[in-house]
């Protein structure tokens, strides 16, 4: 049974490395990967970690050591994945809206590729014809995911080639003898409803006969993790069961065994991450008690960008009675993490921890207001390791060119 990082450990890390600091629990990542592979035992499935969630090289090396593959959303992520030691065959490149040159580089690097526009598919056909296997990212017209900002499969989404443009896809396949080995659909993030994945599988089922060289069916990522107390995540076991049944149906109908691919980001790293901040100032006005912390949307933008909920705990005063606080940042913007959040009484200097912050936390950070990006620490085998130094002043003007 996995023992979570307790408050003492988090406090020690804050003391050693300062705050704000992201802390990742290696064994929790391993535990999540194990859950996936256990649930999908006997199913012909491959998992590619969607590294846009967290790209620190030490995390990537750790994830590779677990036997997981990697999904990249930019050519730079592909370079980082290679640097972390992933073999090209275990790297998937699923991007959107990119220049064809990036795809050419991906071909040179020998990684798996999904293409998300007719225009790039045509360029791909003209350049490589049947030579290089490729997958197609489709837009299914399925509304799914936590909210519109993280939903990618609906009618007005920019992602993928709309399924109704099948004839145009097929014309390109025919003209350039494209070797289509995969179909890809990612409908969004925080998808609790397993049926969404099955709807995707149904679309694949309809399309499969059009692509005789098809080998894999890529259902993307988007498994929900529980952010709130008492919330449920995606039932991975149910998903595995249903996907297995679908694959059997493919086999029975088409006499062919397809492999199913997934690209989980959050599922692998979100719950493993804690973000430790410190309270700079307390303030009250007529309606609110503000707890002003030494961070802001420059370090964790999810609450402001998606209205996301992150559990927050005061690890410095755990026995005190609770009061409601507006937890706010120190950026010159309204960077409110939570409006009326019950917390054990907060004092200036207390440490507030944001939970479930491993995915899209540090990664969506910035240097806005010329603030430093936080340090990152990986806690592994009972030991804390610094895996990224906090920025320093020189980082802020590193690429700037000073004119007289």
Catalytic residues: 332
C-alpha triplet 145, 203, 180: angle, nearest 5° = 110
Q: How far is CA 144 from CA 50, 201, 270, 336, 401, in A?
A: 18, 14, 20, 27, 45
Instruction: Report the 10 Å Cβ neighbour count for 393.
Output: 9
User: Does position 310 bind ligand LLP by CB under 6 A?
Assistant: no
Dump the DSSP string for 240-264. HHHHHHHHHHHHHHHS---EEEE--
Distance (Å, whole) CA 364 – CA 276: 16
Judged by beta carbon, residue 266 or residue 371, the one nearer ligand LLP is 266
Nearer to ligand LLP, 183 or 315 (CB): 183
Closest CB 159 distance from ligand LLP, rounded Å: 7
Using CB under 6 A as the binding rule, whether residue 299 contacts ligand LLP is answered as: no
Decide the pairing of beta strands 112-115 and 91-94.
parallel
CA atoms within 13 A on the CB side of 106: 32
Q: Is the sign of the CA dihedral 162, 164, 167, 168 positive or negative?
A: negative
**DSSP class of 52:** G
Nearer residue to ligand LLP within complex by CB, 220 or 292: 220
Told to check if 273 binds ligand LLP by CB under 6 A, we report: no
Binders of ligand LLP in range 64-123 (CB under 6 A): 71, 94
Q: Quick check: 33 binds ligand LLP (CB under 6 A)? A: no
Binding window for ligand LLP (CB under 6 A); candidates: 118-126, 166-174, 195-203, 221-229 = 221-229
Site size with ligand LLP, rule: CB under 6 A:
20
Nearest distance, CB of residue 226 and ligand LLP, angstroms: 13
CB of 320 to ligand LLP, least distance (A): 31
CA dihedral 43, 44, 45, 46 (to 10 degrees): 140
Burial of residue 381, with CB atoms counted within 10 A of its CB: 0-12 exposed, 13-18 middle, 19 or more buried: exposed
Asked whether position 260 contacts ligand LLP by CB under 6 A, the answer is no
Query: Can you tell me which residue has the tokens 């080998």?
Result: 215
Which of 71, 77 has the CB closer to ligand LLP?
71
**In this chain, which of 150, 163, 300, 353 binds ligand LLP, going by CB under 6 A?**
150
- Of the candidates 398, 353, 390, 396, the one whose C-alpha atom is nearest the C-alpha of residue 374 is 390
Query: Among residues 173 and 357, whose Cβ is nearest to ligand LLP?
Result: 357
Q: Please give the residues from 357 up to 376 whose contact with ligand LLP meets the rule CB under 6 A.
A: 359-360
H or E element that contains 48 = strand 45-50
Nearest to ligand LLP of 32, 94 (CB atom): 94
Q: Is position 151 an interface residue for ligand LLP (rule: CB under 6 A)?
A: no
343 binds ligand LLP (CB under 6 A): no
DSSP structural state of residue 3: P
Q: Which one, 152 or 294, has the nearer CB to ligand LLP?
A: 152
Q: Which of 125, 135, 153, 221 binds ligand LLP (CB under 6 A)?
A: 221
Contact residue for ligand LLP among 29, 50, 78, 173 (CB under 6 A): 50
Q: Is 272 exposed, middle or buried (0-12, 13-18, 19+ CB in 10 A)?
A: buried
For 322-356, the DSSP string reads: EEEEEEE-SSSS--EEEEEEEEE---TT-EEEESS
Residue with the two structure tokens 């920019």: 158
Among 135, 140, 265, 365, binds ligand LLP (CB under 6 A): 265
Q: Which stretch binds ligand LLP (CB under 6 A): 214-222, 252-260, 313-321, 327-335?
A: 214-222
Restricted to residues 178-197, the positions that interact with ligand LLP (CB under 6 A) are 186, 189
- Select the span of 118-126, 239-247, 257-265, 325-333 touching ligand LLP (CB under 6 A): 257-265
Contact set with ligand LLP (CB under 6 A): 50, 53, 71, 94, 150, 186, 189, 220-223, 263-267, 302, 306, 359-360
């Amino acid at each position: 049974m996995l023992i979570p990082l307790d408050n003492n450990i988090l406090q020690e890390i804050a003391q050693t490395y300062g705050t704000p600091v992201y802390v990742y629990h290696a064994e929790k990542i391993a535990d999540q990967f194990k859950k996936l592979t256990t649930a999908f035992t006997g199913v012909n499935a491959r998992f590619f970690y969607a590294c846009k969630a967290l790209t620190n090289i030490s995390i990537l090396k750790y994830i590779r050591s677990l036997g997981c593959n990697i999904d990249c959303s930019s050519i730079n992520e592909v370079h980082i994945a290679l640097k972390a030691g992933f073999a090209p065959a275990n790297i998937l490149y699923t991007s959107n809206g990119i220049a064809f040159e990036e795809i050419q580089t991906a071909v040179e690097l020998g990684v798996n590729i999904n293409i998300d526009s007719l225009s790039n598919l045509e360029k791909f056909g003209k350049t490589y014809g049947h030579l290089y296997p490729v997958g197609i990212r489709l837009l299914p017209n399925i509304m799914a995911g936590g909210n519109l900002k993280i939903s990618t499969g609906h009618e007005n989404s920019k992602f993928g080639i709309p399924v109704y443009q099948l004839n145009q896809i097929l014309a390109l396949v025919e003209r350039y003898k494209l070797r289509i080995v995969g179909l890809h659909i990612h409908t969004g993030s925080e998808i609790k409803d397993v049926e969404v994945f099955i709807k995707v599988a149904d679309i694949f089922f309809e399309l499969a006969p059009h692509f005789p060289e098809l080998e894999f069916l890529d259902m993307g990522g988007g498994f929900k993790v529980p952010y709130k107390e008492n919330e449920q995540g995606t039932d991975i076991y149910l998903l595995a069961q249903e996907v297995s049944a679908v694959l059997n149906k493919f086999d029975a109908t088409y006499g062919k065994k397809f492999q199913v691919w997934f690209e989980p980001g959050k599922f692998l790293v979100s719950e493993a991450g804690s973000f430790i901040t410190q309270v700079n100032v307390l303030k009250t006005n007529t309606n609110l008690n503000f707890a002003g912390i030494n961070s802001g949307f420059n370090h964790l933008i999810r609450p402001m960008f998606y209205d996301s909920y992150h559990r927050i705990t005061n690890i410095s005063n755990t026995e005190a009675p609770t009061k409601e606080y507006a937890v706010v940042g120190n950026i010159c913007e309204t960077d409110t993490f939570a409006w009326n959040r019950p917390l054990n009484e907060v004092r200036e200097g207390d440490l507030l921890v944001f939970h479930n912050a491993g995915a899209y936390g540090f990664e969506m950070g910035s240097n806005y207001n010329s603030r430093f990006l936080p340090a990152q620490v990986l806690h592994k085998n009972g030991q804390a390791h610094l895996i990224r130094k906090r920025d320093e002043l020189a980082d802020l003007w590193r690429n700037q060119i000073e004119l007289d």
